[in-house]
Amino acid sequence: MAATRPRPLSPHLTIWRWGPHMIVSILHRATGIALSLAGLALLTWWLMALAKGPDAYATFEKAAHSPIGLIVLVGLTWSFFQHLLSGIRHLVMDSGAAFELGVNKTFAILTIVGSVLLTALLWAWQMGARP
């Protein structure tokens, strides 16, 4: 019966050929969620620890300097830069620009290159070069 025939579904993740634009789109959402939940929780904890005084801040520092703490912090700084750069890309595209295939692809790749580079620079500075 025609009435029971399954209706066509709109295409989802599995049907598209993967490309930089797709990865960056997914990363924008994933990093946004990470920053919203882990990032803001950490920022709030950090401010509270500072307000409470040196003892509370020592607890925060101990967690931040642990291996897991460092992984979280590096992950969040990368998330920040990735979300910032792909956010700029979104603002440009909101204006109607950068939809040409080549430009769009290059821009998408640049956000990933930029976020990794900025994260590496930040941690190099933090770990060694800070005056």
Partner 1 sequence: MSIGESSTPLGKVRGLGSAREGGEHWLTERVTSIALLLLGSWFIASLLLLPQLDARTLTEWLRAPSAMIPMALLVIVAFKHALDGMKVFIDDYVHEPGTNFVVNTLLLFLAVGGAAIALYALAALAFGAAV
**What span, in angstroms and rounded, lies between the C-alpha atoms of 104 and 94?**
13
List the one residue out of 31, 23, 6, 26 whose CA is nearest residue 81. 31
Closest to partner 1 by CB, 1 vs 35, is 35
Q: Is 53 in the site for partner 1 (CB under 8 A)?
A: yes
Angle between helices 54-65 and 67-94 (to 10 degrees): 80
**What span, in angstroms and rounded, lies between the C-alpha atoms of 43 and 29?**
20
We find the least distance from the C-beta atom of residue 58 to partner 1, in angstroms, to be: 8
Closest to partner 1 by CB, 50 vs 116, is 50
Q: Is 65 in the site for partner 1 (CB under 8 A)?
A: no
Binding mask 67-106 vs partner 1 (x if CB under 8 A, - otherwise)? ----------x--x---x--xx-xx--x------------
Q: Is 16 in the site for partner 1 (CB under 8 A)?
A: no
Q: Length of the chain, please?
A: 131
Interface with partner 1: number of residues (CB under 8 A): 31
Question: How remote is the C-alpha of 114 from its chain's centroid?
Answer: 12
Terminal CA-to-CA distance of the chain, rounded, Å?
76
The binding site for partner 1 (CB under 8 A) comprises: 29, 32-33, 35-36, 40-41, 43-44, 47-48, 50-51, 53-54, 57-58, 61, 77, 80, 84, 87-88, 90-91, 94, 122, 125-126, 130-131
